[in-house]
Every structure is written in structure tokens, then in C-alpha cells.
A and B are shown apart, each in its own frame.
Chain A
Amino acid sequence: MRLSMLPRHEPTVRPAAWSGCLMLAAGLCFSTAPGAAQSGFTPGGDDDPRVGLAAGWHDAEEASWNMELLASQRRPDDFRNPETPGDGGFSNTDIGFQDDLVFVGNYHGFTVYDISDPKNPELRASVVCPGGQGDLSVFGDLVFISAQENRGRVDCGTQGTEGTVDPDRFRGVRVFDISDLDNPVQVAAVQTCRGSHTHTVVTDPSDPETIYIYNSGTSFVRSAEELEGCTDVRNPNDPTTSFWSIDVIRVPLAAPEQAHLIDSPRVFADEETGEIAALWPGGDHGEGTQSSRDTNQCHDITAYPEIGLAAGACSGNGILFDISTPAIPVRMNEVVDPNFAYWHSATFNNDGTKVIFTDEWGGGSAPRCLATDRPEWGANAIFDIVDGRMQLASYYKLPAPQTETENCVAHNGSLVPVPGRDIKVQAWYQGGISVFDFTDSENPYEIAFFDRGPLSETELFTGGFWSAYWYNGQIYGSEISRGLDVFELTPSEHLSENEIAAANLVRFSEFNPQHQPRNVWPPEMVVARAYYDQLLRHDGLLQDRAAVVATELDRIDGLPVGTEARAALAELATELWEDARRVDAGEEVGDAERIRTLAGALLDVATTMR
């Protein structure tokens, strides 16, 4: 276990010794023996190193545990107001990834960084195109970006718009061609009635030539004089109302300029009665419960095309959609929650057997991680998916209390692809980044964190991490007012070196976290070793046997690739299967499932060894 916390007064200097445990004047440093069960502090307790960090824009005090900051890049000059960290016109927002590039959305447009050296991200391109909130996806040669504000213009101009009807106004989903990254060109701009707050790329497994964009408009409905067909009537009995729907946009990849809205399905309707507003009507759930917003919109949708499901975080409900026909999302199951104010975003586990929803209580600009706030409010709710239905298992909230000047609530994250476990890294605005394990959906626990002090000790500026996502071995954090941060996880009693190495094997050439891909691990010894570490951590194998297996793993690692190694792997796997059988028969204690997982991984290595 290592914990380091160090004040930084010189933001451009990044000492290489950060991973060490430094004792500095204002810093604290806890260190316990390797393998110690306790972390040396109580998350959320007075000794939590995230409590009491000094404030600053680019010189705030930092605390980290089991993760290391590799680099920080301030927003480029054109995307920041040097006068204040709190200028919301230049907030960094969501992220998309492609090859060695990270695309960072911003209320003012988007920026692109080259991350071929993650320790030194370099600004590669930037596009000024205001409209907020700049939620962004990258797919092939295309970048999609959301605009919802009154000031958004079709021509990306910064001069704003005028009045209630302005033909130059743009609120919807923009499509850029980035095949020449030095000259991105807006090739389409799909106007929608409520603009675009977030959007989600949805691929069609049976049609590689077409993708779909699910658009979540949450803003006001514009005038029909500005956009035909928009009906600003909040009446579910009016069949033309622009509330109570999502938008589906079809994008022919060969002709993206033809991207257009194909439907605004009534996904909240009662199938039998046809009532448009059939889900949560708004209000609380009884005495002492949270007041949940009414479900007339989705805030964000996470699609997992490979399993044919999408999870919609839709204001007052969490919804599972069948997206096997992407053009026609079909509601399968929905839940409400008495602790949720506003269903905000979702992440599936890799197997698609769990889904985490976040609750953006307070809207993101409010301090909702105070010591006095209830831990189930503004938190994650973790659901098991059983026979297509969601069952609440537990809540997880950032354990460390934040101050009155730190906006903080559950926000965007992604899976950390450690085989055999469900782990998520997540942004909590000025609450920082928290990495937690939810393999046991009823008992999630934190395994790493990073946090900075508030932007200001006296004022609440909206800031902190909008998104924190794992991509090809690193964690990328989009900091609203401080820029782009890059992190690495470091080994601890909660996460072994082998587990991190196995996670690093999962590589994507493109990643949009709301278009969730399946993580697949190649058959390599380090994957088996990760399973072995998990077996030990859970006391899943008798100590004697564990020692024998370790010795054999080392011996096999020393063998050249070939028949002997292959045979040894197969033999070890067979022995482990026998161990599992004995556990099942009650002849030994242990974790039969984990033993078989290890055996299977060893056989995979043997099978593919050439």
C-alpha cells in the first residue's frame, strides 16, 4: 500500500518521484507494510487524505492513492479565460478516443491531443464551435458533438444568435469529418427540437455501413417557427409534444452529409394504453425520500450493441432498452429509486449482468458530497440484471467528504478491464476520481483515488472532473477548468501488478464510453497470473496448493514456447480442475469458480501457444 499526498506549487514541474511516498511540509504520508489489510486511513474519516486539501486553480494540493498522475495539460489559450477558473463558456466536457488521439469536448468546441506518449500529451488540433455542452463521440472519420445552447450557430460562429427565431441558430448534433485533422469540416448538422445535451453512437451488428445516434435533448423546446415540427407543449395528451421522446439519427457512413433524424420514439409510453408519459411523473417517493425528476427525457444512454442492450439514464427512471434493431429502441424494463434525484448516466459491467446508474443530484454545479449529505444521494446505484430485469444491489458514493466550495456528485466513468473483476473508474467533479470494485454488487469498495483541493477556498466555481475513462492502459480525466489529466494505476493490495498488466492488454483503436465495447483478454500468462492473484486474495486455494501452483507458474514461464510448456500448462490446468472438484465435493475449502477460471485461462494459453 502506498499513499502519497503532496502539495504542488510549481505546476509545470512534474517530479518523476511522484510514485514515491514523499513527506513534504504540508503533506501527510501513510505507509503500511505490503499486503497489510488496512489502508492506513478510513475512507471518509478525518484521516482521509482528501480531507482538507489546499485550494488553487493550477496549484491546488493533491492527494492520491494507488494511482499516479502522469501528466496535466491545461486547456489551450483559446479555450480558457485566464481571468477565472469559473468561466462556463470554456468548460471541458466529455471525451472520445481513437488510436493515439483523445478528443476532448468543450462548451466552446473541441480539442484533440496526441497521446502516443501518455506522459506528454500534445495538442494536435482544436476546433472553435460554441454551443455547449460539447458532448462528443468519434467514429471512423467522423466526430459528433452536441449543442443545446441559445448561442449555438450553424456556422460555428462565436457571435451568438438573436431572438426566439434565428435561422442561424444551431441546437442539435453536429457531424465533423476529421479525415484531415488539420482541417476538420462540418459535413452535417442535425437540428432537434430540444437541442442535444448528450448523444450516443449505436452500431448495428448487421449493418456496418450505417450507424445511429441516440440523441438526448434535455433543454427547452424551440419555436416551431425556427424548426418545423417542434411543439413546446408540456402536455402528454398532445400527440405532437416535443417532450417524452428521444431522437434517433441515422448516419450512412459513406455519405455522412445525409445524416438525418429518422424518428423520435415515444420510449416512455405505455405499450397498452398508448399514454405518452407512462413513467415517473416527478416528485418524491414517500416521507424522507428524494424527489426524482419526471421522465420526459433521457439524460444519457449507454449502448452495448454486442449484447443488444442499452441503459438509459432518463431523468426519473433507469431504463433497459433492447437495441438489437438499433433504429427502433424498445423499452424492456425500468426502475425508479427513492434516493435518486436525476438519473444521469450508465455503465454496464463487461458481462452485461450488472449496470451502474449515476444520480446527478444538484445538477453538477452544487456541492453534494458534504459530510452531512446522505451517502445514497448523489451516488451510484448498482443493479444486477436478472432475466432482463434490474434489481438494486447497493449504492456507491465517493467516500471522502468535500467542501462547500466543491461541486461534487456522481458523474461519468468507464470500466477498468481487469479480468475476473468488475472495476470502474469515475469522475466526481471536484470530488476527484474514484476507482472502485463492484464485483460483488452488494459490496462495492474503493481501490484507488485522486483528488485536488477546491478551485477556490471561498467561491464555488463549477469545476473538477467531468469524465474519467480508462483507455489502453491509462486513465484520462477531463477536468472542466484545469485541462486534461493522465493517470496510471499503481499496484496495491487491492490491485496486483499482474491485474494491471492484464488490463493493459485490452486495446481498442476507438473508444466512446457510451458506446460500450466488450473487453476481451488475449490468452497470455499474465491474465492467468491475474486470476491467480485474485484466487489468493480471496483465500480460494489452500496455501500449500497455492505455493505449488506459483512454483509451477514460474517454471512454465521459464520454458521456451513449445510442446513442453504447452503440456505443462495443460497438466496444471487439469490439476486445478481436480482442486475445484474437491472443493465442490466438500473435501477441501476454496473457491471452485475462481480455481476453474484460472484453469481455463491456462488452457487458453496452452491452446494458442505456437
Chain B
Amino acid sequence: MKAFSGHRVLPALLGVVALTACGSPSKAPSSAPPPPIDRMSEEGPEGYRYTDADVQFMQNMILHHAQALEMSRRAPGRTEREDILLLARRIERSQGDEIALMKRWLEARGEELPESGHHPHEHHGHHAAEREHGVELMAGMLTEAQLDQLAATEGPEFDRLFLQLMVYHHEGALDMVEELFSVGGRTAQDPELFQFASHVNSDQRIEITRMLEMLRAGER
């Protein structure tokens, strides 16, 4: 579990946390010189360019989201808290929709979907990852042991573990977005992918805030 303070500076999406002192808060006066415009591109329409890193991001995020669904499905029967059931249902619905979106994105470009049953733990690559027992994990992914532990708890114990693990899991998704933007090269140029990554970034930040509140509520 990552350390987390009330106003933790979440990972800057662009990977560069701007700490520069600045006299005019939140203002960025800047007018670019008038450039010529490119009328009616002769290249003709084409899907926007994407990179291997983009593809890998989508493939990994499908697996990452799939685990969030797996976690959420454990809530019914194990918690008595209506707010946690509701949260679980929301995650199932929103991330379920997003999985469909990511699959469509990959299929439309003739890219491979991550194999169903393909275990994310074995997924290698230079994505946001952590090392556990010598196996590379995507950021925020739970181990089998952690999933088993979640399945074995119930009541307030489940509530607490579920929220903590889900926050951890969501943080991992934010790391993956951050890495996509900062890995270098022409990543996140595709409009749909850009929009999707932006949504993951904003939605999961909000859910994290909410889950931390729920955790605090459970402590009372």
C-alpha cells in the first residue's frame, strides 16, 4: 500500500511535476505567432498514428480493468455496506464499458487483444511495473495471494481491505497513464486513446478520493 496523505500530489500526468514558483498563479499568458494553416491535407483521411506504447497501454489496461471487475464482483455477499456495493457496481459498469472501448480500439486497428486467461502477472514490457517475487507486475495489479485474501474476508474486514486494495489498484492505473504520456516519442496522439486516458486519469482520481473518505468513515 502506498503512503497516501490527504492532499498527496498525485502523479503529474505529464510526468513532470511543476514545482516552479510562479508569480501569476494558474495564468499562462501566451499568444502564439500566427502560423499558416494546412488546408485540406492531401494525405487524405487516415486513422491517427499510434505507437507500440499506445497499443501496449491499451492491452495492459484491459487486463488492469479486468482485475478491477474481478475485485468488484467479490463485494456482494461479503460486505454489508451499501456504499461499497454501490461503488463496486459503479466500477463494474464504468470499467466494463471501458474494456469494451479498449477492445474496439485495438480491433479497429488490427491489433491483438490480450489473451483471455493470459495472466497479467506474466506480462512483460517497459510499462509501469513493479517487481514481486521476481515477476513483473503492472502497477497496481494484485497478486493471487492478495485476491485470495480478499475473497477470504467479510464484513468490516472486507470493507477495509477492499477499499485499500482498490485505491492501490486505481493508483496503478494513474501510473500507467502517466507513463504513457512520459515514455517519450509520439504517444497518446490518437484522439480516442487520448480521451480515454484522460478519463481514466480524472475518473480514477475522483474514485480514489471517494474511497479514502469511505475508509475514514469505516474507521469511525
Enumerate chain B residues within 8 angstroms of A240, measured Cβ to Cβ: 21-22, 25-26
* B interface, over-half SS: loop
Give Cα A479 to B29, complex, Å.
35
A161 contacts the other chain (CB 8 A): yes
Enumerate chain B residues within 8 angstroms of A86, measured Cβ to Cβ: 104, 108
Enumerate chain B residues within 8 angstroms of A77, measured Cβ to Cβ: 44-45
A414 contacts the other chain (CB 8 A): no
Enumerate chain B residues within 8 angstroms of A229, measured Cβ to Cβ: 22, 24-29
| A158 CB to nearest chain B CB (Å) | 5
User: What residue in chain A is nearest B107 (Cβ atoms)?
Assistant: A459
Give Cα A50 to B47, complex, Å.
32
**Complex interface: stretch among A19-27, A190-198, A432-440:** A190-198
Give Cα A462 to B108, complex, Å.
13
B149 contacts the other chain (CB 8 A): no
Is A90 a contact of B45 with CB atoms below 8 Å? yes
Chain B 53-87: CB-based contact to A (< 8 A → 1; otherwise 0):
00000000000000000000000000000110010
**B14 partner, pick from A188, A222, A288, A460, beta carbons under 8 A:** A222
**Complex interface: stretch among A124-132, A379-387, A597-605:** A124-132
Interface centre among B21, B37, B182 (most CB of A within 10 A): B37
**A157 partner, pick from B10, B38, B209, beta carbons under 8 A:** B38
B30 contacts the other chain (CB 8 A): yes
Is A294 a contact of B209 with CB atoms below 8 Å? yes
| A53 CB to nearest chain B CB (Å) | 21
B162 contacts the other chain (CB 8 A): no
**Complex interface: stretch among B127-135, B136-144, B164-172, B188-196:** B188-196
**B16 partner, pick from A224, A241, A261, A367, beta carbons under 8 A:** A224
A163 contacts the other chain (CB 8 A): yes
Enumerate chain B residues within 8 angstroms of A155, measured Cβ to Cβ: 35-38
Is A228 a contact of B45 with CB atoms below 8 Å? no
Is B26 a contact of A82 with CB atoms below 8 Å? no
Enumerate chain B residues within 8 angstroms of A81, measured Cβ to Cβ: 45-47
Chain A 353-368: CB-based contact to B (< 8 A → 1; otherwise 0):
0000000001101110
Give Cα A288 to B18, complex, Å.
39
Is B195 a contact of A88 with CB atoms below 8 Å? yes
Enumerate chain B residues within 8 angstroms of A220, measured Cβ to Cβ: 13-14, 181, 198, 201
A87 contacts the other chain (CB 8 A): yes
User: What residue in chain A is nearest B41 (Cβ atoms)?
Assistant: A128
B101 contacts the other chain (CB 8 A): yes
Give Cα A237 to B9, complex, Å.
11
Chain A 217-238: CB-based contact to B (< 8 A → 1; otherwise 0):
0111111111111111111110
User: What residue in chain A is nearest B21 (Cβ atoms)?
Assistant: A240
Interface centre among A91, A232, A258, A263 (most CB of B within 10 A): A232
Is B28 a contact of A230 with CB atoms below 8 Å? yes
Give Cα A149 to B181, complex, Å.
12
B39 contacts the other chain (CB 8 A): yes
Enumerate chain B residues within 8 angstroms of A235, measured Cβ to Cβ: 7, 9
Is A190 a contact of B31 with CB atoms below 8 Å? yes
Chain B 106-120: CB-based contact to A (< 8 A → 1; otherwise 0):
001000000000000
**B39 partner, pick from A128, A150, A459, beta carbons under 8 A:** A128
A344-379 at interface with B (beta carbon < 8 Å): 362-363, 365-367
**Complex interface: stretch among A276-284, A323-331, A560-568:** A276-284
Is B34 a contact of A89 with CB atoms below 8 Å? no
A64 contacts the other chain (CB 8 A): no
User: What residue in chain B is nearest A228 (Cβ atoms)?
Assistant: B28
Is B32 a contact of A189 with CB atoms below 8 Å? yes
Is A165 a contact of B16 with CB atoms below 8 Å? yes
**Complex interface: stretch among A4-12, A179-187, A467-475, A517-525:** A179-187
Enumerate chain A residues within 8 angstroms of B18, measured Cβ to Cβ: 221, 223-225, 230-233
| Given A155-B38, A228-B30, residue A291 in contact with residue B14 (CB < 8 A) | no
| Given A82-B45, A89-B192, A151-B194, residue A163 in contact with residue B184 (CB < 8 A) | yes
Interface centre among B39, B187, B190 (most CB of A within 10 A): B39
| Given A132-B194, A191-B30, residue A163 in contact with residue B210 (CB < 8 A) | no
| Given A190-B31, A219-B198, A293-B206, residue A158 in contact with residue B41 (CB < 8 A) | yes
Enumerate chain A residues within 8 angstroms of B148, measured Cβ to Cβ: none
| A226 CB to nearest chain B CB (Å) | 8
Give Cα A84 to B105, complex, Å.
11
- Which residues of A pack against B, CB within 8 Å? 77-84, 86-91, 107, 126-130, 132, 149-151, 154-158, 160-165, 170, 176, 184-193, 218-237, 239-242, 245, 257-264, 281-284, 287-288, 291, 293-294, 362-363, 365-367, 459-462
Q: List 26 A-B contacts (CB under 8 A).
A: A82-B45, A87-B108, A127-B39, A130-B191, A149-B189, A151-B48, A154-B32, A155-B37, A161-B186, A164-B14, A164-B182, A165-B16, A191-B30, A191-B32, A192-B28, A193-B26, A221-B18, A222-B14, A230-B18, A233-B18, A281-B209, A282-B206, A283-B210, A287-B86, A288-B86, A365-B195
Identify 13 new A-B residue pairs, CB closer than 8 A, beyond the known A189-B32, A189-B35. A77-B45, A90-B45, A91-B191, A126-B40, A132-B195, A151-B48, A151-B191, A162-B184, A170-B32, A229-B29, A236-B7, A239-B25, A291-B90
